[in-house]
């Protein structure tokens, strides 16, 4: 982990990599303070949608007219892991797949959020521990140069052992 953080800091072009943790220590779930998107963000998205496009075509306009803002996840999910040098890190999982797993689990749990979160944790901590886990790490422009660790998990690859 130290090597890729150093590379990202010294060379701003390192913003995406594959990382194999030595051990997954925990799966952390935190409730979001705000369960809905802020109104100002929704207004910006709607304004951009209505703005139009000089190079627009009928098919693109139809797609934009059916566009709906995705629901905000009410939880943040993170992995706590150790690298081969024993360094422990905690990184948030910003992968669409975990969000979709949560929504599917919520539906199959008849709206019970605790059960849905337990299903997500079961999959990411228990089931994936039986596989080789690789993390796709990426930085965000906002934190690339200033954060102690600019990486978030943008994907999880879990092939069989």
Q: For 28-42, what is each residue's pLDDT tens digit?
A: 999 999 999 889 988
3-state secondary structure of 59: helix
- pLDDT surpassing 90 at residue 125: yes
Q: For 92-108, what is each residue's pLDDT tens digit?
A: 999 999 999 999 999 99
- pLDDT surpassing 90 at residue 66: no
> CATH classification of 2-35+73-157 is 2.60.120, yes or no?
no
Average pLDDT over residues 121-125: 96
Q: For 1-26, what is each residue's pLDDT tens digit?
A: 888 888 777 766 677 889 999 999 99
Helix (H), strand (E) at residue 114: helix 113-121
What was the pLDDT predicted at 3? 82
Evaluate if pTM is beyond 0.85.
no
Domain ranges of the chain: 2-35+73-157, 37-71
How many whole angstroms separate alpha carbon 18 and alpha carbon 58?
Answer: 40
């Amino acid at each position: 982990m130290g090597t890729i953080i150093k590379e990202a800091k010294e060379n701003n072009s390192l913003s995406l990599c594959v990382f194999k943790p030595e051990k997954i220590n925990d799966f952390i779930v935190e409730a979001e303070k705000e369960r809905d998107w802020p109104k100002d963000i929704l207004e910006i998205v709607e304004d951009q949608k209505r703005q139009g496009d000089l190079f627009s075509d009928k098919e693109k306009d139809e797609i934009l007219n059916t566009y709906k803002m995705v629901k905000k996840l009410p939880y943040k999910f993170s992995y706590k892991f150790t690298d081969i040098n024993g360094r422990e890190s905690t990184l948030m999982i910003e992968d669409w797949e975990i969000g979709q797993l949560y929504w599917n689990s919520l539906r199959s749990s008849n709206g019970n959020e605790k059960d849905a979160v337990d299903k997500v944790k079961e999959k990411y901590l228990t089931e994936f521990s039986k596989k080789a886990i690789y993390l796709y790490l990426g930085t965000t422009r906002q934190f690339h140069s200033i954060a102690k660790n600019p990486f978030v998990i943008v994907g999880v690859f879990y092939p069989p052992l």
